[in-house]
Amino acid sequence: MTDSKRNRQPKLRKIWLIEHIRRQDVHEAPSDEDLIVAELREQAIDVQEKIAIRAQRLAESRGVLSRVQRTEGIFRVLPEILIVLAYFSAVALIHGATYFARPQINIFSLLLSLLFLNFIMLSIWFVASVARPAKARGVGSRTLGLMRWLQQFRRQKAQRESTLQSRFAVMQQQNLLAPYFSMLTHGFWFMTLLLAWVLLWLRFAFESHQFVWATTILSADTVISVLGLFTWATDLLSIQSPTFSADGGMTSFFPKETGWWVLAVLALFGVLPRALLWAAFLLTYRLRLQRFQVDMSLPGLSGLTSRLQPRSQQIVDPEPATITRPQRHKPAVIGKDCLVFSLDYEPVPQWNDVFLLNNHGVIASYEQRQQFIRDLQEKPARKVLVRVDSEITPDRGSLRFLAELQNYCNDIAVWTVRNGKYQTQWQELLAEYHIMGFSFSDEAIRWLEEGL
């Protein structure tokens, strides 16, 4: 692939390749980049473009592109799968709402059957979005999670780094996960309700129905009040609404006008809100995608920038002989929360040992570290458990960050994962900083859960 074709790659895929190669390089020092870096160093192009070209070439030489294409295929086919699911959901919805309604349809139960489930799911989504705004949720995330499991189940040989995991990491760094999955979720419900509207229109168009309202245990005033919640919107749009009266347990309406009114209610209270939410999150996703930028402060990229500059412009930042160790002070407010996060890199993509605890994911960039410290300043934690990949050498920036965290929590511990070649070095440096270190998951989890 020529450099001109590389420049025409979608922006998301370009940064995705950079992140995937970065995660591989952090895990294992690259030995196949010397010629590429030497060639790019003297080219008169932007440093970020050099990093993108390097990632593309390394991906080609390492056989990553075929896996990236397969993962892209998953994301391409996901909307199609949701459309198929939406069709069957719409058929089931209409069938369930009208199965026992021949020839008379109880308008009260029909509207509740069509709109109640959508209202409940929308309420759950809203509450979950307010409680955990950055967490992926909804029908789209569940479907993608199932496809990811099937992909892992079919995989004959474990890969060094999952392209799906690196894709999630990129989207998480740029706050794209929440709008993406919200877009899929609302798109699914929009298609479900739209198809339900079409199927209901076809049934009304080619079958004869009479409309009534009836109840066994509710009062007539209660039923009329519920139905009245829908009439205000149709009245505003000058759509003729049926007149509900309480004389008797069953009141007949003019079928044609009532049929159009039911279709209008389904469109206004079901299809339209989901369509607006889908469009809003689609716009949010595209706007954030336009502002997509590579985070040059991430491990594996910060040092690469200087190596890709012409030798006359390279700046060397020597490591000081000693690192200033801030003195620890107890927080002014005793914390109650127990927090867990992975530093710089998630060593085990499928890790879920403490999924019931307050897991903050991966904290890698300088901005993420500073934001985490600010959050602890506002709300100190009782315990902080930091997951560290012991295959990565301890750096002075990470040690300073861990030392500073001691000021904002009652206890802090580091869990060195995978028993890597730098395990001993991590344990020795943590001991110098008086930070507790764990090598086994059961020890770390037991420490975190003590006193809960």
Q: Domain holding 377: CATH number?
A: 3.40.50
Tokens of 192: 């479900």
Q: Is the pLDDT of residue 352 over 60?
A: no
Predicted local confidence at residue 139, as pLDDT = 57
Residue 444's CB is within 10 A of a number of other CB atoms, namely: 24
Within-domain flag for 55: no
Q: Do 343 and 286 belong together in one domain?
A: no
Q: Do 85 and 202 belong together in one domain?
A: yes
Domain end point (choices 290, 319, 346): 290
N-term to C-term CA, the chain = 56
Q: Do 257 and 344 belong together in one domain?
A: no
Within-domain flag for 204: yes
- Count how many domains the chain has: 2
Print the domain residue range for 120: 67-290
- The answer to whether 314 and 306 are in contact (CB under 8 A) is yes
Where residue 168 falls among pLDDT bands split at 50, 70, 90? confident
Q: Do 106 and 202 belong together in one domain?
A: yes
Closest to 21 (Cα-Cα) out of 47, 58, 46, 53 = 58
Within-domain flag for 318: no
Within-domain flag for 397: yes
Q: Do 271 and 383 belong together in one domain?
A: no
Q: Is the pLDDT of residue 344 over 90?
A: no
Higher pLDDT among residues 218 and 194, named by residue? 194
Within-domain flag for 3: no
Within-domain flag for 355: yes
Predicted local confidence at residue 225, as pLDDT = 78
Residue type, 159: Q
- Range name among 232-236, 411-415, 447-451 with the lowest pLDDT average: 447-451
Mean pLDDT of the chain: 75
| H-only helix segments in 99-154 | 107-131, 139-154
Q: Do 237 and 374 belong together in one domain?
A: no
- The answer to whether 270 and 114 are in contact (CB under 8 A) is yes
Predicted local confidence at residue 36, as pLDDT = 80
- Range name among 40-44, 101-105, 390-394 with the lowest pLDDT average: 101-105
Domain end point (choices 231, 259, 290): 290
Q: Do 274 and 351 belong together in one domain?
A: no
Q: Most confidently modeled of 111-120, 213-222, 296-305? A: 111-120
Q: Do 275 and 393 belong together in one domain?
A: no
Give the largest Cα separation in the chain, rounded. 93
Predicted local confidence at residue 296, as pLDDT = 73
Within-domain flag for 260: yes
What is the rounded average pLDDT of the residues 86-113? 81
- The answer to whether 257 and 240 are in contact (CB under 8 A) is yes
Q: Is the pLDDT of residue 134 over 50?
A: no
Predicted local confidence at residue 84, as pLDDT = 93
Q: Do 184 and 90 belong together in one domain?
A: yes
% of the chain with per-residue pLDDT over 90 = 11
Within-domain flag for 158: yes
Predicted local confidence at residue 433, as pLDDT = 79
Q: Do 279 and 347 belong together in one domain?
A: no
Closest to 72 (Cα-Cα) out of 83, 62, 61, 64 = 64
Distance between CA atoms of residues 437 and 431, nearest Å: 8
Q: Do 243 and 347 belong together in one domain?
A: no
Residue type, 12: L
What is the rounded average pLDDT of the residues 260-281? 93
Q: Do 350 and 279 belong together in one domain?
A: no
Where residue 86 falls among pLDDT bands split at 50, 70, 90? very high
Where residue 315 falls among pLDDT bands split at 50, 70, 90? very low
Domain end point (choices 290, 323, 352): 290
Residue type, 338: C
